[in-house]
Amino acid sequence: MEHEPVRMKLIRHTPEQQRQAEQRRLDPFLRALRAIHTAATPETMDPDDLDKQRKGQELLGRLTAPMAGMSWEPFLLDGLNAAWVRPQRGYDRRRCILYCHGGGYTSGTLGYSRILASKLAHVTGWPVLVFEYRLAPEFPYPAAVEDAMKAWDYLMYQGYGARDVVAAGDSAGGNLALVLTHLLKAAGRRLPRTLVLFSPWTDMTASGKSYQERADIDPVLTLNYIYAVRDAYARGQNWSDYRLSPLFGELNGFPPTLIQAGTNELLLSDSVRLRDRLVQAGVPCKLEVWTDLWHVFQMFPMKKANEAMESVGRFLLETL
């Protein structure tokens, strides 16, 4: 007895239905990210706020599944928790990326670092070194900077030359990558080959226009958070010092730089002004501002985040 073939009915979703489905998928990630970047009290880092931030980062790391095809190799780097992220099917051993995680200098783990580190390894085919620098308020400035220099020196001891290393970072990690470059320059040492910065925090004085103009549309950051983590990290310091606000340092001689930011973020001015100052200093710089997106959107599981990371891969290929 013959049976008629079963015909599957294709369900076509409208653009609005697709948008709503993506929003539902992203909601847990946004909630976790808001928890990381929320502080109730601007002058001090309340213990409850700090606990919420650190748990939010742990949750975000768990929500994002490890990227297939990547190896994860944790180790102790002179007392710091660190890890290599490497593509499993061969990789370019001549180059690597030093990735500095965000979190306002007050939160951050290897699990959180793994998200963007895996994406960077995927689009470049290079190993990525991540590390847990000491966090404020328990370890304020300059602890994180000292730890970043320790990670840099480790790569040099491993046989990498400065020209073989890309320094990358998101948010406060972007700040740290820039400060590291400033300090290497001040010491007369060779600088990273390239900088890749995701929504970098470059101005602790919070003097850019976007701190006010984007306050109502940023779905992640608040001014209270900025003030609270700034105070926890560098209370009593001169926030215009280039070791805290790398935007204000001498940028001549810096390596080619890619900056990515979203239109809807509080820190947009930090990226725009950094681009302007790099260009004025004669440094090749590319700024990509992604429409309707937020702070460090690249870590989210969505099409535009993938496109942004592919752009990073193209930039590095063209630059190197």
Catalytic sites, residue numbers = 171, 265, 295
Q: What is the DSSP letter of 182?
A: H
d(CA 284, CA 312): 15
Tell how strand 80-87 and strand 128-131 pair up.
Answer: antiparallel
Alpha helix ranges (H) inside the chain: 15-36, 47-63, 110-124, 143-157, 172-186, 210-213, 223-234, 268-280, 303-319
Give the type of residue at 79: G
CA distances from 109 to 69, 160, 202, 219 (A): 21, 25, 21, 23
Choose among 184, 159, 149: nearest CA to 94. 159
Residue pair 222/40 in contact by the 8 Å Cβ criterion: no
Burial class (CB in 10 A: 0-12, 13-18, 19+), 100: buried
Query: At 82, phi and psi to the nearest 5?
Result: -145, 170
